């Protein structure tokens, strides 16, 4: 792949939201190039639930649409890209992209910061990363309050991140809060922000991830539903139905909105 092709952005709409057609290796390479220069950018990891949410929340749609990269997390999103001519388009999931970046940041000595989740999860995540990636420069881990921060608190958090000198900030505030937070902080946080949602918990071991065969066959949602049926059954029932309806409309009529 030529250098121009590697850094030339190509997107296609999925229920109206622009999603990048690229593989995980290309995504990681672009992110690391931005991180090396401490460019203020943000990346959204977009699954079926996220796509449906963009049709219901104008601010969230704006955040995803204006992101520097929106990866096709979730088998249905990758499938929609394949239907639009991007043959072989793989999933580019948050946990997998995150793990790849840990490896490459360790080698390239790019510092990372973790913003979100709970203090307990962050402590367990630090322990695991110290074992698996001893050379990884973890310059900060922060569990902000679940309430909105006031202007002074927010400015202090930005100052801490910038003072750490990191190239990448992994943001685990949950969807759509993390995407809106990143959009609001582009130009203020001097690093690449990546909204990874539950990936903090997966890598910390506080939430079990679906086995590889389920992920490879588009069944990760089923594993999560089986793990937390009371919390997630309505979300998956409604989300999956709305996604299917929107996908049919887009493929037949050219748009889903």
pLDDT in tens, 38-52: 999 999 999 999 999
Domains held by the chain: number: 2
User: pLDDT band at residue 233, thresholds of 50, 70 and 90?
Assistant: low
User: pLDDT band at residue 238, thresholds of 50, 70 and 90?
Assistant: confident
Residue 45: inside a domain: yes
| Statement to judge: residues 89 and 123 lie in one domain | yes
Residue 80: inside a domain: yes
* Whole-structure pTM value: 0.92
Q: How far is CA 95 from the centre of its chain?
A: 8
Q: How far is Cα 237 from Cα 49, in angstroms, rounded to an integer? A: 11
| Statement to judge: residues 127 and 77 lie in one domain | yes
| Statement to judge: residues 133 and 53 lie in one domain | yes
| Statement to judge: residues 193 and 216 lie in one domain | no
Q: What is the pLDDT of residue 223?
A: 63
| Statement to judge: residues 54 and 138 lie in one domain | yes
Over residues 191-217, the mean pLDDT reads 84
Over residues 221-240, the mean pLDDT reads 72
Q: How far is Cα 217 from Cα 209, in angstroms, rounded to an integer? A: 14
Residues 6+ apart with CB under 8 A from 234: none
Residue 177: inside a domain: yes
| Statement to judge: residues 110 and 42 lie in one domain | yes
| Statement to judge: residues 86 and 196 lie in one domain | yes
Residue 251: inside a domain: no
* Four-point Cα dihedral 156, 160, 165, 171, nearest 10: -90
| Statement to judge: residues 148 and 230 lie in one domain | no
Query: Residue 147 belongs to what domain range?
Result: 12-204
| Statement to judge: residues 31 and 142 lie in one domain | yes
Q: How far is Cα 232 from Cα 213, in angstroms, rounded to an integer? A: 21
| Statement to judge: residues 224 and 115 lie in one domain | no
**pLDDT over 80 (residue 91):** yes
| Statement to judge: residues 115 and 223 lie in one domain | no
| Statement to judge: residues 59 and 96 lie in one domain | yes
């Amino acid at each position: 792949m030529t250098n121009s092709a590697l850094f030339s952005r190509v997107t296609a709409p999925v229920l109206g939201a622009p999603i990048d057609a690229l593989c995980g290796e290309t995504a990681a390479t672009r992110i690391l190039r931005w991180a090396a220069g401490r460019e203020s950018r943000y990346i959204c990891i977009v699954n079926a639930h996220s796509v449906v949410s963009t049709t219901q929340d104008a601010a969230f749609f704006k955040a995803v649409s204006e992101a520097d990269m929106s990866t096709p997390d979730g088998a249905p999103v990758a499938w929609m890209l394949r239907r639009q001519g991007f043959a072989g388009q793989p999933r580019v999931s948050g946990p997998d992209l995150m793990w790849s970046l840990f490896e490459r940041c360790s080698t390239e000595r790019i510092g990372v910061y973790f913003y979100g989740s709970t203090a307990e999860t962050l402590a367990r995540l630090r322990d695991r990363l110290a074992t698996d990636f001893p050379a990884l420069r973890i310059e900060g881990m922060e569990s902000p309050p679940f309430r909105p921060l006031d202007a002074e608190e927010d400015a202090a958090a930005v100052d801490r991140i910038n003072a750490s000198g990191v190239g990448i900030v992994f943001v685990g505030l949950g969807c759509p809060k993390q995407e809106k937070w990143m959009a609001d902080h582009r130009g203020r946080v001097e690093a690449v922000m990546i909204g990874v949602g539950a990936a903090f918990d997966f890598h910390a071991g506080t939430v079990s991830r679906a086995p590889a065969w389920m992920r490879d066959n588009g069944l990760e949602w089923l594993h999560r539903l089986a793990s937390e049926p009371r919390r997630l059954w309505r979300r998956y029932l409604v989300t999956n139905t709305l996604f299917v309806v929107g996908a049919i409309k887009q493929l037949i009529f050219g748009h889903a909105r």
